[in-house]
Amino acid sequence: MSTKVVGLDLGTHAVKVCELVTTFKKFELVGAAMEPVVAEGERATLAEIAAAAHRLLEQRGALLDPIYCSLPADFVSTLTLEFPFAAPKKIEQALPFQLEEALPVDLDQVVWDWQLVESRADGHSTVLVAYVKRALFESFIETLKAAGVDPKVVGIGALSYYNLFDYVIGESATAVAVLDIGHVHAELAVFDGSKPAVVRHIRGGGLDVTRALAQAFQVSLDQAERGKLAEGVVALPSTPRNDGNAPRAELITQACHGALQPLVREVKRSLVAHAEASGHTIDRLYITGGTSQLRGIEAYLSLLLGVEIQRLDPLSVPFSRLVEGGDRLRPFVGKALAAPLRAFNAKHQSHINLRKGDFAYTGDFSFMRGRIVTLAAAAVLVVILAAMVAVSKKRVLEAENAALTAQVRAISKVVLGEETDDADRVFNAMMAAESSAAKLIPQVTAFQLLAEVSGRIDNDLVIDVDQFDVDLDRKKLEIRGRTESGGDVERLVEVLEGHPCFKNKVSKDKVEKSMEEKTKFRLTASSGCS
């Protein structure tokens, strides 16, 4: 039996989904889609994002499937803690005390979860903790539920790319990073030695570029957005251009560069800080998200960050079965695909799920409750049908019993001279009668008679029987058929007369040659058995 698992990316510009169908032994990516967020203001509200998510899931028929998603990037914060032990139970016990000291608010005001990042040979460990204000998380869950969306798992976006590690990034002895540049926010994850080392949210993205273009060309945001998609290019302003349209091209370049500079600066700061702390430089940086489509961005980031830049290709996974739309969706669905992969037993996967405690997902129990009601109704229906069948059988048996009782009464008049329904008495009287006629019980059955006669016929006696009639009232047997010779007919007569019921009571009414040179015959016999 197959089930569907849905990954949901709640972007501020568009909502994306990926659908995985799972069976007992494997899983496949069978669907991917995106839906634009309709926002009244410059930036979409959570309610508007939730409405877009509902539209998309409803179109895909996935509202009731298990949904895996991430918190909006600006909702969640992370920190890493060091422990002198690595046993999960000990970490679980010690974490609340550590968090009380590390967090700027009381622990009961936040929702948090943790993941063991590294367990070292000296027994020490590194733990990643994600937390969000309780009131903010409650508003997030309630807003989604109001739109008919109830996620089973709520993780953090940057860490979800850890789920793609085995399928896209692959094992690496060096440090690699993933940068998801969205419309409003960017999310950075650094994986060092195939383990998550840095997870952070950086403000800045495609909306900043759109604003810069709108200001540079004095147009509306909608016009600037269309221009960004058609002509947007990012490069250092000093880069010479020979396209015949230098003033306009240079203005676009300056606007894009100026908008992305704060984001690039924060990314570089994070990469340098990690290199200094760990001694490992970043080998390559994967980019994804809508803003990663800007022309020239790979060379631009490589020049400013000093690392190799590659585009993340989430749809290159070996379990993809998408037949269309892949090229258009490729830059957008990385997080939507990564989120539900935690449902499978991969070596590298995120474990943080903020739906716990008071906010624990109950959709599975609601689903079971609905199934239990359905099963209970079906069980009641089965019981009712069984009772109806039992009543019907009882009535049929009662009618058959009445008919048999009437027959016993009729026979008892003949045998005993009086009417009774005592079947044993009638049977004993019939068996004790001296005359066969009085017994009224056959001495031999027709099947028994046929079996005994057949057993007396030799295997080499071949007879084609055309007609075999038994007249029970006259106790007469008639056989019509053909044999190879007249001698076979005589042998058949001997067999019949050899039986006690037909002894000396067989006559050959007709024996003649047919056109096929076979002997046609008709035998009649009177039975002396009752």
For the chain, the domains span: 3-361, 375-439, 446-526
pLDDT of residue 89: 93
- H helices of 111-182, in order, are 134-146, 157-160
Backbone φ and ψ of 433, nearest 5°: -65, 140
Contact of 117 with 127, CB cutoff 8 Å: yes
Q: Do domains 3-361 and 446-526 have the same CATH topology?
A: no
Residue type at 464? D
Nearest partner of 76 among 135, 122, 19, 133, judged by Cα? 133
Nearest partner of 6 among 46, 45, 59, 48, judged by Cα? 59
> Counting Cβ atoms within 10 Å, is residue 102 exposed (0-12), middle (13-18) or buried (19+)?
middle
Rank 275-284, 317-326, 340-349 by mean pLDDT and report only the highest: 275-284
* Residue 152, both tokens: 């089973």
pLDDT of residue 242: 54
Residue-wise pLDDT tens digits, 217-236: 999 999 999 999 898 899 88
* Residue 369, both tokens: 């409750």
Mean pLDDT (the chain, rounded): 86
- H helices of 219-362, in order, are 221-231, 246-278, 297-305, 326-329, 334-338
What DSSP letter does each residue of 376-422 carry, written as one string?
A: HHHHHHHHHHHHHHHHHHHHHHHHHHHHHHHHHHHHHHHHHSS----
Give the residue with greater pLDDT, 231 vs 502.
Answer: 231
3 state SS of 515: coil
Residue-wise pLDDT tens digits, 38-87: 988 888 999 999 999 999 999 999 999 999 999 988 899 999 999 999 99
Q: Which residue, chain included where needed, has tokens 């069984």?
A: 386
pTM of the model: 0.67
> How many angstroms separate the first and last alpha carbons of the chain?
64
Place 370 in a pLDDT band, splitting at 50, 70 and 90: very low
Residue-wise pLDDT tens digits, 108-154: 999 999 999 988 899 999 999 999 999 999 999 999 999 999 999 99
pLDDT of residue 433: 63
Q: Could you give the CA distance from residue 51 to residue 44 in angstroms, rounded to a whole number?
A: 11
Q: Could you give the CA distance from residue 315 to residue 86 in angstroms, rounded to a whole number?
A: 36
Question: What is the side-by-side strand order in the sheet with 3-10?
Answer: 27-36, 14-22, 3-10, 67-71, 153-156
Asked if the model's pLDDT at residue 414 lies above 80, the reply is no
Q: Write down the architecture of domain 3-361 according to CATH.
A: 2-Layer Sandwich (3.30)
Q: For 432-459, what is the mean pLDDT?
A: 66
Backbone φ and ψ of 19, nearest 5°: -115, 125
Q: Which residue, chain included where needed, has tokens 């539900």?
A: 340
Give the residue with greater pLDDT, 232 vs 511.
Answer: 232
| Other beta carbons within 10 Å of 68 | 26
Longest dimension (CA), the chain: 132
Contact of 193 with 207, CB cutoff 8 Å: no
Contact of 286 with 265, CB cutoff 8 Å: no
Q: What is the CATH number that goes with domain 446-526?
A: 3.30.1360.100
| Other beta carbons within 10 Å of 13 | 24
Query: Measured between alpha carbons, how far is residue 514 from residues 245, 466, 480, 483, 491 in Å?
Result: 112, 14, 13, 10, 19
Residue-wise pLDDT tens digits, 145-204: 999 999 999 999 899 999 988 888 877 778 999 999 999 999 999 998 888 999 999 999
Contact of 524 with 476, CB cutoff 8 Å: yes
Secondary structure of 193-234 as H, E, C letters: CCEEEEEEEEECCHHHHHHHHHHHHCCCHHHHHHHHHHHCEC
Rank 231-245, 260-274, 511-525 by mean pLDDT and report only the highest: 260-274
Question: What is the side-by-side strand order in the sheet with 110-119?
Answer: 77-83, 125-133, 110-119
